[in-house]
Structure 1
Amino acid sequence: MLIAQITDIHLGFEPDNPAEFNRKRLDQVLRHLIDGPNRPDVLLATGDLVDRGDVDSYRRLANALSACPFPVFLCLGNHDDRTHFTQQFPHIPVDDGFIQYVVPLDGLRLIVIDTLEPGRHGGAFCAARAQWLSARLQEDRDTPTIIVMHHPPVEVGIEWMNTHPDEPWVARFAETIAGHGQVQALICGHLHRAIVAPWKGTTIAICPSTAPQVSLDLSPIDPDKPDNRPMIIADPPAYALHRWTRHGLVSHFDTADEHVMLAKFDQNLQPLVRALVSERPT
């Protein structure tokens, strides 16, 4: 099974521009997924779907995603608005006011959770959400499960975007999934970079954004002393492909730019391909 992921679309960053930069980048990624060699079985869009939470941007997002010939499942990030989102995506389940739901797939379960707290940039995971997730994990302890969320509960070293490991929501989330060996991975966004990290006995895969990326700078930052470091960079729009097999989840990250071909599978490379394949067990 192939699960594609896009994240941090930030549609509506230029609210008065119908041909805005972020929409062009989103369309570029979607074309790669739809027309490329790796068409997924499902697509996850993991938060910060729009930039200002406005209805019109969600309408344009729904229009863009309508081109997808595969199911699309969405979760919310800190730039999103639950009320305006549900107006344009009424088919996405809402539970107790939160955008949280289960997606049963072939031999796999996706649990989408809501880490939005209005007015806060970082994540949130209250007692009500913890109770809901705990119940979903308890009801099926056998099926391999992936939790889909916007905010990664891990410190990655980019100080101005970090999640502090002592944040209360992180502790509550960790406590909720503790002892649930069926949780194979967490799929997240928010950081606008491709990052993979071990965490609490599972693995976090963080997808780069379709919108511009965050600069990789792991040096300390002083909020009181601007130092002119790059923060947002115009790297190509990107996405993830998560390949689920009986051996687990393998995550690939790619950009939607054209890739310059240096070699192709022709008669010159056929002996190499044959040799490599022949070395594998049948």
Structure 2
Amino acid sequence: MEECSLTLPPSRPFRPCHLPLRGSFCEGGFYRTAVNSAEERTSPMNDIRYLTDHYDEKIAAINALDAPLNFVFITDMHNGLARKKLPGFGDREFGNTTDHIRSIQYILDRCPGISCVVNGGDIGNDYWPSAEGIRSTYKETMDALYALSVPVHCCIGNHDDATAMAEQEKDNAIAILPDEMHKICMKYNPTAENYYFTDLPGSEWRFVLLNSCDRPYRIGANGRFIQDYPLEISNEQAVWLETEALCTDRKILVFSHAPISNVGIFGSIGRGGGYVRTHDDTLNSSRVYTALRDCPNVKALICGHVHYDNLLYRDRLVMVTSQCAFVQEWAPSCPKREYGTITETAFDVFSIKGELMQITRFGAGTDRAATLLR
């Protein structure tokens, strides 16, 4: 079997992180769907039928539901962190985020009711020990997302600032600070901040996109970034949430990278490798959660970060987390992921009709459904 083409530094930086795999990055299965020719196998625009050949039944179910609100949620793509060459396919790398994103367009072309895509953050490979390499994976992801035929709304992930690699390499230029991050992934954000809300045209819904990595970037006495805790919602953002974002008659869905509350979410407890520990609560989350809990128009909280499917109810709020979109199995109960198969990716189409929130999974994992209690 050919070697995985992963690019990693000799040693990884320390940070609160949940990326370890069961086994190596090179574990995986085999490509199931033949392509037409050797030229097609190695062309820049890869054949993605090994993904889309499995989509039609789910597309039909989404259209049959005829929900007034539909959107795609994809999170934790970590583009470039886990790719693999398979025998018989030359230099083609599977596990390619751009292929997964291109497959979303297949769905959009057949589901005219989908209004937008929401990206939950952690978009690239922040383990690449160079500023140019890291940014190339971010640009590749966002170029693919912006090529889609609907707006793409983004949350920022804790891996997106690359400050840990900046510390490891003793090179501040590696870090991607908020202003640069804004240019990379906030095309549809009408504000200068990295958090915002958008009222979906022709609907009764407001999407609030929080920045759960809204932390200070301080330089220490050694001239390098102080490794502050990576998950935080600033007081300024909390005030904006309380006085602007939640002040509406519209129904509200709230998105963030990290959970606003870790209570009851698998991944927020435990001591094993790969688990998000109990100290991983987002700073200022108590204030923010209280504001969301006390606003009757807030219906659900949707996030990523924990690389696991959770669905639970707290204070009559629906709380949803979704699997990472890249190839990883960090816990025994994670779905099997195989390169070159439909399980290589994982993302959802959310459909809301009345009290029903239907969550249709494309890729590894299963469909889910929730009842909106508010």
Q: Normalised by the size of structure 2, how large is the TM-score?
A: 0.56
Deviation, 1:205, is 1.3
* Aligned with residue 110 of structure 1, among 196, 207, 214: 207
Counterpart CA distance in 2 for 1:13 and 1:84 is 21
CA positional deviation for 1:165: 8.4
1:86 pairs, out of 159, 182, 191, with 182
1:182 paired with 2:279, answer no
* Correspondence 1:157 to 2:257: no
| Correspondence 1:61 to 2:141 | yes
Q: Structure 1: which amino acid aligns with 2:284? A: W
Secondary structure at 1:41 match in 2: strand
Structure 1 CA distance, aligned partners of 2:300 and 2:152?
19
CA distance in structure 1 between the partners assigned to 2:252 and 2:278 by the alignment:
23
Q: Percent of aligned positions with the same letter in both sequences?
A: 19
The 1:166–1:239 alpha-carbon spacing in structure 2 relative to 1, beyond 3 Å, is closer
1:104-132 CA distance string (max 9 Å, x none): 01110001110014746763222111111
Question: 3-state SS of the aligned residue for 2:232?
Answer: coil
Q: Deviations over 1:34-74 (max 9, x none)?
A: 35558722110111112328432232122211331111111
| Counterpart-to-counterpart distance in 2, 1:136 and 1:144 | 14
Cα drift, residue 191 of structure 1? 1.7
CA shift at 1:103, angstroms? 1.0
1:207 aligns with 2:322: yes
Q: Which residue of 2 aligns with 1:145?
A: 252
Contact 2:70 2:350 in 1 (8 A): yes
The answer for unaligned runs of 5 or more in structure 1 is 219-229, 258-282
Residue of structure 2 in register with 1:261 after alignment: none
For 2:229 and 2:72, the matched residues in 1 are separated by 25
Distance 1:256 1:79 in 2: 23
Report if the CA contact (8 A) 2:95-2:327 is conserved: no
Consecutive unaligned residues of structure 2, counting only runs of 5 or more, are 1-68, 84-90, 162-177, 218-226, 366-374
Q: Write out aligned runs for 1:29-68 (5 A).
A: 29-35=103-109, 40-52=114-126, 54-68=134-148
Post-superposition Cα deviations, 1:141-199, rounded to whole Å, max 9, x if no partner, equal x2110011110122423332245587643312222223101000011011222221113
**Counterpart code for 1:150:** H
- The count of corresponding residues between Structure 1 and Structure 2 is 243
Report if aligned partners of 1:194, 1:207 keep a CA contact under 8 Å in 2.
Answer: yes
Q: Structure 1-normalised TM-score?
A: 0.72
CA RMSD of aligned residues (A): 3.4
Match of 2:351 in 1: 243
